[in-house]
Structure 1
Amino acid sequence: MKFGQGFEAALARDEYPREWIDHAISYKKLKKCIKRVQQELASLGLDKETLDALWQHVNTGATEVGGQLGERLQYSVDGNEKLIFTPKLTIVIDPRDGSPMDAWLSPDTRRILKRLAKTEDGRRPSVATVNEIVPGGQDQQLETVEIPLTSDSEFFQILTRELSDLDHLQNSERSQLEVEIAQLGRELRALRSSRSKRSKKEIEAWRMIFELYTDAEVFMSSHEADAGARDAAHAQKQYAEFNKALAAHQNQIIQLGKEGNSALDRFLRVNIKLLRLIKFQEINHMALNKILKKFDKRTALRARSSVSNTLTHSPLMAQNLAKATCFTISEELLNIIPQLNDYLCPVCFSISYKPIRLRCGHIFCIRCMVVLQREEQDRCPMCREGVVLDASSDNLDKDLMKFMEKNFKVAVRTKQKENEIQAGIDRWGAQYENAQKCIVM
């Protein structure tokens, strides 16, 4: 299946709203425009074969004479931050008679270009002057004139308008997502400030949900191998894994109650909409690349290299959308309910209770600090600064300890029990641990 047909089929599926489809790249219209560009160039004696040969001649000449001949033919598509593109085809002429410098061009092409290089009163509308180094080391002053094309301007006007529409759509949809995320944030803050037993169970359920969501890394990866924004296909796969993990914790999700489940449904819809929007922008970006490639292939004008630099910084890029929305989710939702993973000791990977804050600023659980000091290891495991042996009871972060006791009661109780057992082993030996196991049994 040709790309154009596949693109239309993808847009015709039910997953995209009508408004989105109306803002999509008009691939067929742009293809027709390319045909008009071809016809216009052919009428000037610059058909694809002639332009291909001219580019080849220019490249060969540039190698032979120090790189200056590359200015004999230029096609540039200047773009700005507002995605406004201005195409321009220029060619070097002989200042003596206004004829094209490349003598090998066909008589018809030379005659047409020579006529374009003159105004009605016979003067040449020179737009620039260049110096070319000819064999022998002498400078030769040449002039460049712009060849007027209307069809390529039409092509880039259509493209400019449609890219602007896509950016407007993306910004509008992103704003709506941020409004929904902010509303969920307000509900979670209200839930957290409540002191009812019911709210505590709901908070624990949300903590579990956000932990699963963070672990899934749906839209952004923190792994070295694929760090950064995920493409739509990979994000869809990770989202499916997240839903699978949720299904395995239904007993905890039940604790959310009616309103909590409604909020969870809205959170899932935000993710689904973001997935759909990223996929929509990806196929439009692909359509953009395909139509520019087709433009260059059929016209030999080599526009893609000029346009690509501007498009790289366009909001149309789905990666930018993923980063921005994930940041909003993190700030507005994930930070409201503290996650245990953010408070783990980097040595034993359990909760940093009781938290010892070293002079370098890094935090460890008290048990790991005791072990390090007993082994006379002075360097911080994180930054290698010699601060461990200086630590004392004054380094206990009491505010952080209260925070942990309030937000991670189960983890704190487990860690306290582990510390008590380890302290008993230190005092009475390994038999203490065996005795504790017998007591539990």
Structure 2
Amino acid sequence: MKFGREYRQLLEDEEFPEHWRNKTINYWQLKKVIKKIEKELEDLGLDVDTVRTLSKPADDATIEITEQSQDPSGSALGAVTRLSRLPPSLWIAIDKASGQPVDATLTKETKRCLFALGKVQHGEAKSNLELTNRLDQITLSRDFEVLMSDASETEDPTERYCEQHRWLKVPLRSVVDFFAILNPELARVEAVKAAESAAMERAISSLGTEVTQLTMPTITQSRRPKANPDLSTWRKIFALYIDCAIFFPTYGHFYSARKFDEAYARMQTFSDQLREQRLVDKLKVQQSRDAVNNFNDINTSILKTLRFLELNATAVSKILKKFDKRTALGANRAFPDADPAPFARAMVTMLCAEVDSKIVTRVPRFDEWQCPICYDLAWRPIRLGCCNNIFCIRCIIRLQQEAKDQCPMCRQSTVRAADSAYIDDNTVAFLEKYFPDEVKAKDRANKRQAGIDQYGEAFYHKSCVVM
């Protein structure tokens, strides 16, 4: 299936909002303009093979689209915006004496057409020459390099060239039309991207506040914190979300953002596992269930926007390739071919960072408070003072029993001096508040291990025997 039909079908199947559909790249209209450009070049005698021969980078062509500004992003979309601000044209070196183009590879029809065009532009040749006689604005053909190779070492070849030749400007009206259509369409796509990003940022911030309230432990009459009944379930939901790594690999970075197809499959996996583990059903408060649904809606919106931007970026990439294939005017050289993903990557990166900082991290994760020795909760947390890591008290006691004095993380000699005074009281209060079940389990395990250390393995028995 050709891309045009595939593009149209995808836009219909994806069920984008109606106001999005009116702001997509008009691939079919741009294809029609490309045909006009072909006709315009053919009328000048510049068939695509001739232009391609002249514009090959390896041949140091005499024909090139004028384009001076640079965009460090190197993306196809940014490049199109640059070109749309310039009047595209061809510049060809013309011999002053004969009026003929310098490059010997031009066809007879092209030479006749350019000779006639040169007569029309003869009156403005001097002004054109003053503006465009710098060699860094064009590239030269091999034939012209041979012509200049006879110049003496003391002679400036630029001066000799300017004495013998002048520049002929060939306007490309249809090329101007092409980018005049494309540039506003890109602006409309960017407007959709900006509007959706702003709306999702507001939704993310609102949900983050709601999740914080729904998971906040309550304070009893005895002034001791009581765990929120949904806290542990929320922690499991977010742990599952992190494991699914929907938009980025777990240990990825900005440039490893997933494309839509893979992100969509991972979102499906996340939804399926939520149902299989019945995590939503385990939430005791209806507001929590509604918040989970809202969380899924936000991720679905990010996916839909990602799909919309990828489709439009692919359409731009395809139409630029077609532009270069049909006209050989070097659009792909002026605007390096780029993966469409960067067009959407910045938005996805920003929104995922918002989800992580304003929603997911509102519920403290277990792995952030693990002891780096036993990988269990660092209960009765010991902070040695040499580094910022915390350890559970049982692991520090075991290191002391083994006469090990070096910190397991930074290797400084701080273990032997540690005692109950090194317990971090602020961390104790935090763990009791957000990990009450884990604290109780670890406290029982610590007491059991202390009894074994004092009385031996026989201190605890799996069953009671009456004699």
User: For the superposition of Structure 1 and Structure 2, which TM-score range results when normalised by the shorter chain?
Assistant: 0.7 to 0.9
1:407, distance to aligned residue in structure 2 (A)? 0.4
Aligned to 2:110: 109
Distance in structure 2 (CA, Å) of the matches to 1:262 and 1:94: 73
Aligned to 1:421: 448
Distance in structure 2 (CA, Å) of the matches to 1:252 and 1:18: 32
Aligned to 1:222: 250
1:336, distance to aligned residue in structure 2 (A)? 1.7
**Does residue 179 of structure 1 match 2:180?**
no
Aligned to 1:46: 46
* SS of residue matched to 1:317: helix
1:342, distance to aligned residue in structure 2 (A)? 1.9
Contact 2:64 2:330 in 1 (8 A): no
Distance in structure 2 (CA, Å) of the matches to 1:306 and 1:350: 57
Distance in structure 2 (CA, Å) of the matches to 1:84 and 1:357: 56
**Does residue 169 of structure 1 match 2:186?**
no
Contact 2:382 2:392 in 1 (8 A): yes
**Distance of aligned partners of 1:254 and 1:416 in 2 relative to their CA distance in 1, 3 Å threshold:** closer
Q: How does 1:82-161 map to 2 (within 5 A)?
A: 83-85=81-83, 86=86, 88-94=88-94, 96-97=96-97, 99-117=100-118, 119=121, 121=123, 123-124=125-126, 125-126=128-129, 127-131=131-135, 134-136=148-150, 138=152, 139-141=156-158, 142=161, 144-161=167-184
Contact 1:20 1:169 in 2 (8 A): yes
Aligned to 1:67: none
Aligned to 1:320: 346
Aligned to 1:343: 369
1:316, distance to aligned residue in structure 2 (A)? 6.8
* SS of residue matched to 1:121: helix
Contact 1:129 1:144 in 2 (8 A): yes
Aligned to 1:65: none
Moved more, 327-336 or 372-381: 372-381
CA deviation digits over 1:19-51, x for unaligned, max 9? 111111111011111111111111122210111
Distance in structure 1 (CA, Å) of the matches to 2:65 and 2:252: 40
Matched residue type, 2:371: C
Distance in structure 2 (CA, Å) of the matches to 1:324 and 1:267: 16
TM-score, structure 2 length as denominator?
0.81
CA deviation digits over 1:156-175, x for unaligned, max 9? 12221111111110110111
Aligned to 2:58: 59
Distance in structure 2 (CA, Å) of the matches to 1:12 and 1:113: 47
Contact 1:73 1:90 in 2 (8 A): yes
1:274, distance to aligned residue in structure 2 (A)? 1.1
Aligned to 2:307: 279
**Distance of aligned partners of 1:252 and 1:158 in 2 relative to their CA distance in 1, 3 Å threshold:** closer
Contact 2:382 2:423 in 1 (8 A): yes
1:329, distance to aligned residue in structure 2 (A)? 0.8
Moved more, 342-351 or 280-289: 342-351
Q: How does 1:284-433 map to 2 (within 5 A)?
A: 284-308=312-336, 317-358=343-384, 359-384=386-411, 387-389=414-416, 391-432=418-459
Query: Greater strand percent: which structure?
Result: 1
**Distance of aligned partners of 1:303 and 1:20 in 2 relative to their CA distance in 1, 3 Å threshold:** same
Unmatched 5+ stretches in structure 1? 61-69
Unmatched 5+ stretches in structure 2? 72-77, 221-225
1:395, distance to aligned residue in structure 2 (A)? 3.5
Contact 1:191 1:199 in 2 (8 A): no
Distance in structure 2 (CA, Å) of the matches to 1:91 and 1:227: 39
1:297, distance to aligned residue in structure 2 (A)? 0.8
Contact 2:24 2:185 in 1 (8 A): yes
**Distance of aligned partners of 1:202 and 1:76 in 2 relative to their CA distance in 1, 3 Å threshold:** farther
Matched residue type, 1:295: F
* SS of residue matched to 2:123: coil
CA RMSD of aligned residues (A): 3.1
1:377, distance to aligned residue in structure 2 (A)? 4.7
* SS of residue matched to 1:219: coil
1:324, distance to aligned residue in structure 2 (A)? 0.8
Aligned to 1:270: 298
* SS of residue matched to 2:230: helix
Distance in structure 1 (CA, Å) of the matches to 2:167 and 2:387: 64
Structure 2 residue corresponding to 1:246, chosen from 266, 274, 278: 274
Aligned to 1:189: 212
Aligned to 2:229: 201
Moved more, 272-281 or 337-346: 337-346
* SS of residue matched to 2:133: strand
**Distance of aligned partners of 1:225 and 1:273 in 2 relative to their CA distance in 1, 3 Å threshold:** closer
